[in-house]
């Protein structure tokens, strides 16, 4: 005689429902991120025309609040330069080319 395996009902829902982020907080975070990305693009569009000629395809790390930027051909070195001055700030990484992107999808 074979025994049928006991089926354990699967739980549905979040593992930790108390850690659910309210939709208002998610919307606020998205708005902050969009504003920060807009500031990155503004700084990039201001400085890229003069830098592309001599530093094509170098990495540029931009600190959005101050507008400071750091460039280097190596991404890690550019980030280290930014972290020395702004250890806790958010930075954006772009590439000095026509689009500011690092590759193609």
Model confidence over 17-74: pLDDT tens digits? Answer: 778 889 999 999 999 999 999 999 999 999 989 998 899 989 999 998 888 999 999 9
Quick one: tokens of 40? 């990155």
Does the pLDDT of residue 81 top 90, yes or no? yes
The gap from C-alpha 47 to its chain's centroid, in whole angstroms, comes to 20
Q: What is the pTM of this model?
A: 0.74
Give the DSSP H or E segment for 72: strand 69-72
Tell me the C-alpha distance between 68 and 105, whole Å: 29
Length of the chain: 105
Structure confidence at residue 105 (pLDDT)? 60
Question: Tell me, what DSSP letter sits at residue 39?
Answer: H
Structure confidence at residue 89 (pLDDT)? 83
Pair 40, 66: CB distance under 8 Å: no
Structure confidence at residue 87 (pLDDT)? 87
């Amino acid at each position: 005689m074979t025994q049928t395996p006991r089926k354990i009902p699967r739980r549905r829902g979040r593992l930790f429902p108390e850690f659910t982020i309210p939709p208002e907080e998610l919307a606020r975070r998205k708005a902050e991120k969009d504003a920060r990305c807009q500031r990155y693009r503004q700084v990039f569009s201001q400085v890229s025309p003069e830098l592309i000629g001599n530093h094509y395809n170098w990495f540029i790390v931009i600190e959005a609040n101050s507008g400071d930027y750091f460039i280097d051909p190596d991404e890690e070195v550019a980030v280290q330069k930014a972290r020395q001055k702004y250890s806790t700030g958010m930075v954006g990484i772009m590439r000095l080319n026509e689009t500011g992107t690092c590759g193609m999808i």
